[in-house]
Structure 1
């Protein structure tokens, strides 16, 4: 499926567009694209909005979900605190990725580094309807942990 992208103002156009690293990959890797081309230190526990240098036109009826890269998460504790982040089909602004260092060590985000992955996902919008009562189920109002922990 075609997804149109354009460069944001000040973007480094030598940075590759999002791309799938293998034939079976669900997520296309997206890269840091800092306007000043510098690296940024992300201390333990800190967050940073990392620019990608892109603006994107998600097809109507779809969203793009931004997800952490598993290798960065396992090796360095680098994750996305709002994962999955959503890019709606009507958004046309700069694409940024909120990155969190949940690891114990500082981490350097280099210009051009693969920082997240994006997955194109179909969206079904619901119509919400007020009712007097909800249909009963065997679980009922049992919330967090009500079905057991193992």
Structure 2
């Protein structure tokens, strides 16, 4: 397990620093930070503030994922499925929560709304070519490796 220091700036004095739920948790919980509760109407999306800005190290990205309990029990998950925080972004972390349920859901300040995974990434150098190497799979896609 690799650890390193991550600089976080509180943009709101009531903001909660991300925290890990267990010793080997990959994602740190992100917490809502609002002046008043926010209701997300069924089938709609609302931006939920965290009151935090973060300094992701170069060569890494912050990936914002759903919290399984919130998604399964209340139908709330990031609208973009996985949010990406680039190393050069210094604005507030906000989570676009979408309500997949058919019941309005209210988010309270201090509630855990998503999880942040900090991960290394590779930057590709893309080259245009006339042909790609052959594989057994070839051009088969969208279920082509499943049952026949």
Equivalent in the alignment of 1:6: 9
Q: In the TM superposition, what are the counterparts of 1:2-41 in structure 2 within 5 Å?
A: 2-8=5-11, 11=12, 13-34=13-34, 37-41=35-39
Aligned positions of 1:8-87 closer than 5 A: 8=11, 11=12, 13-34=13-34, 37-87=35-85
Encode CA deviations 1:46-102: one digit per residue, 9 max, x unaligned: 101111111110011100100000001111111112122110001111111110110
Specify whether residues 108 and 26 from structure 1 end up closer, same or farther in structure 2 by C-alpha distance, changes over 3 A only.
same
Q: CA deviation at 1:149?
A: 5.8
Q: Structure 1 regions of 5+ residues with no counterpart?
A: none
TM-score, normalised by the number of residues in structure 1 = 0.91
Give the whole-Å Cα distance in 1 for the aligned partners of 2:76 and 2:114: 10
8 Å contact kept, 2:41–2:105? yes
Task: Describe the SS at the equivalent of 2:19.
Answer: coil
Unaligned residue ranges in structure 2 (runs of 5+): none
